[in-house]
Amino acid sequence: MPPAGSLNYEQYAGRACFACGKQLTVGAVSCGLAVGRQGAHKLDVEVWACP
């Protein structure tokens, strides 16, 4: 699982595959949490991948 800080905006928002960066349309698979931290803020986010 990549650190949350390394995801681009689309990946962070769950609109793109975290592994290959392709836009997700149908059948996206939840792959768990990418964890990250920026100062006092937790950046943990659920990431998705193409099927």
Residue ranges that bind Zn ion, judged by CB under 5 A: 17, 19-20, 50
Tokens of 41: 């803020």
Q: Cβ closer to Zn ion: 1 or 42? A: 1
Q: How far is CA 31 from CA 39, 48, 50, in A?
A: 25, 5, 10
Angle at 16 between CA 3 and CA 50, to 5 degrees: 100
- Nearest approach, Cβ of 15 to Zn ion (angstroms)? 12
**Closest separation in Å from C-beta 51 to Zn ion:** 9
Q: Which is nearer to Zn ion, 4 or 16 (CB)?
A: 16
